[in-house]
Amino acid sequence: MDTTSQDARSRQLDASAASRRSRELLERSLVWDMTLPGMFSGLNEVQALHRYHSAGFGFVSVTIGNDSVWNPKVVLERLAKVRSEVARESDRFRVVQNASEILQARAEDKLAIAFHLQGTNGLGGDIAWAEKFFHLGITHMLLAYNARNAVADGCAESTDAGLSRFGKSLVREMNRLGMLVDGSHTGYRSTMEAMEISTRPFIFSHANASKLFDHYRNVRDDQIIACAKTGGVIGINGVGAFLSDSGDASAELIYRHIDYMANLAGPAHVGLGLDFITEVAKFAARAANSADSWPSIAGKVPRFDHFAPPEIIGPLTERLCRGGYSDSDIEGIVGKNFLRVFQDCVG
């Protein structure tokens, strides 16, 4: 008997079954990406939303600005622009404010869209703007974006000073509103303090495991565990620079970070925050010219060559099937886990 051929046929059958199962799962799942950056700022345009819709996603959170935005006026201008563009295609997209609207959009085969800020400088130092932004559809905010601001230290900062008094007040205010508190891009001590203060589930919308790849943008084991203890979720990032030394952004590498976190904290606390960008060269140039936000590591300037696209959801789901995850675990990872947190916090 040719055992080599028999083994090959067995692998083909297993792969075929995983492919079929993944398609069935995606057809019935709410697929969720917690981070789509760069909309209407030269890094992504509305075509990115079309790709998400075509790939089967039901929800995406769009970045309105990062800490380079220093006042509420700019946030409002960008928000108005994005809302206007989305409204022109109401047959495909719907801006949402709560979980029931997300589920309704899914039932209508529309892509549900909410917004976030990558950093808190857009408040202009006035905590009252958090409530105004929240009612305009900004459902989560990162505390900082790599560098220090008035709220927290960033993850790339030379210090690890933790939250300011203003930052602690802001976490409490976001809890009161139901706005998700996000520790991505934020310093270690700041996130640990924020999770200790928070009375609601805490998130890392787009971050990977530092144990698998030691980069300042990734999170440590105790951050992952602390996030899970709040009832929160970590969205695995699809940026090759944060996945491995190779800089690749393959489904296999994303799976490894999912699997690591799921084994550490439980699959109910893992989701997706792909951080997809189409204009790779533009983003790489911006990062290279922003040494404070993107400092070099061991004398090397960070390289940004590969970003996982929304179409990776098929191969990634198939890999989860081959990895032995149950249907309910996979449905949670691709969307329901973040939906749960959204329901618990935003409403």
pLDDT tens readout for residues 198-233: 999 999 999 999 999 999 999 999 999 999 999 999
- d(CA 262, CA 337) in angstroms, rounded, equals 12
Whole-number pLDDT of residue 195 = 98
Q: Which value, in Å, is the radius of gyration of the alpha carbons in the chain?
A: 19
**281 Cβ partners below 8 Å, 6+ apart?**
none
Whole-number pLDDT of residue 74 = 94
Helices (H), 99-157: 99-107, 128-135
Q: Dig out the tokens for 272 from the structure.
A: 């997706």
Q: Give 152-197 as a 3 state SS string.
A: CCECCCCCCCCCCHHHHHHHHHHHHHCCEEECCCECHHHHHHHHHH
10 Å Cβ neighbour count for 90?
A: 10
Phi/psi at 70 (nearest 5 deg)?
Answer: -105, 0
Give the containing element (helix H, strand E) for 77.
helix 72-87
Per-residue pLDDT of the chain (347 residues; tens, 9 = 90+): 444 454 544 455 577 888 899 999 999 999 999 999 987 678 888 999 999 999 999 999 999 999 998 899 999 999 999 999 999 999 999 999 999 999 999 999 999 999 999 999 999 999 999 999 999 999 999 999 999 999 999 999 999 999 999 999 999 999 999 999 999 999 999 999 999 999 999 999 999 999 999 999 999 999 999 999 999 999 999 999 999 999 999 999 999 999 999 999 999 999 999 999 999 999 888 888 888 889 887 666 778 999 999 999 999 999 999 999 999 999 999 999 999 999 999 99
What sign does the dihedral 36-40-43-48 (CA atoms) show? positive
Whole-number pLDDT of residue 6 = 46
Residue ranges covered by each domain of the chain: 21-345
Whole-number pLDDT of residue 41 = 77
Instruction: Give residue-wise pLDDT tens across range 172-188.
Output: 999 999 999 999 999 99
Whole-number pLDDT of residue 29 = 96
Q: Dig out the tokens for 163 from the structure.
A: 């939250």
Q: 187, exposed or middle or buried, with CB in 10 Å at 0-12, 13-18, 19+?
A: buried
pTM for the whole structure = 0.94
- d(CA 110, CA 112) in angstroms, rounded, equals 6
Q: What is the CATH number of domain 21-345?
A: 3.20.20.140
